[in-house]
Amino acid sequence: MKNSKHLFAIAAIIASIALIVYLTRQPAAPQQSTEHEGSVHNEDEQHSHDVAQMESMKAEIVRLEKVIKENPSDIESLLNLAHLYQDSGNLFKSIETYNEYLLHNPKNADARIDLGVSYYQMAYEDTLKQKEYFDTAISTMQEALKYSPKHVLGHFNLGIVNWQNGNSEKAAFWFNKCIALDSTSSVAEKAKQILQQHLIN
């Protein structure tokens, strides 16, 4: 009984940080701000802004799909399309498009990390295959580090995904490497916080 309670507590902690992985770029549609919670007026404004952002993303997706259809060698447009698929929540298409882009430019560590984030997000979309998606996210991010060994976000994200995949020891390893790479960065500060609060006995 004690072990089951312990596992439940760990699961609750993990669930509370389920969205802490970081993209290597600014997402096209920022998450809704909570600065003015309780204000109906501001919530309506935010909703209108979010709807406009989503419509803008959809239009840009259509435009880029046309550009790529007419010019398949335009890999920058292909990468931007992968980002937009991810930001709009179309994870199957983002994974497919990142993989297509990486066939042309396999050394782009940022794109490979963002692909790993898409696999990570899929773990919450398809919980029946959650471990499989976590494992794929991990292997994808580790592949990225072969091309960019000092990728701070890559190390941090590997800490998060390993933790949520049930491997605290590996998570601590990656968080500590993240801190060693750039101890003063905001990402390293978050890694320190997680280590101190949850992973160091």
pLDDT in tens, 41-99: 677 777 777 788 889 999 999 999 999 999 999 999 999 999 999 999 999 999 999 99
User: Could you tell me if 93 and 7 are in contact, meaning their C-beta atoms sit under 8 angstroms apart?
Assistant: no
The answer to whether the 46-105 and 130-201 domains have the same CATH topology is yes
Q: What is the pLDDT of residue 29?
A: 53
pTM exceeds cut of 0.85? no
Q: How far is CA 41 from CA 35, 37, 47, 48, in A?
A: 13, 10, 10, 11
Where residue 11 falls among pLDDT bands split at 50, 70, 90? Answer: very low
Q: Nearest-CA neighbor of 89 among 172, 12, 146, 27?
A: 27
- 72/75 Cα distance (integer angstroms): 7
User: Could you tell me if 155 and 188 are in contact, meaning their C-beta atoms sit under 8 angstroms apart?
Assistant: no
Fold of the CATH domain 46-105: 1.25.40
Q: What is the pLDDT of residue 39?
A: 57
Q: How many residues does the chain have?
A: 201
Q: Where are the domains of the chain?
A: 46-105, 130-201
Choose between 85 and 21: higher pLDDT.
85
Lowest-confidence segment of 7-11, 57-61, 69-73, 108-112 by average pLDDT: 7-11
Tell me what the pLDDT averaged over the chain comes to: 86
Q: What is the CATH number of domain 130-201?
A: 1.25.40.10
Residue 144 has pLDDT above 90, yes or no: yes
Q: What is the pLDDT of residue 15?
A: 43
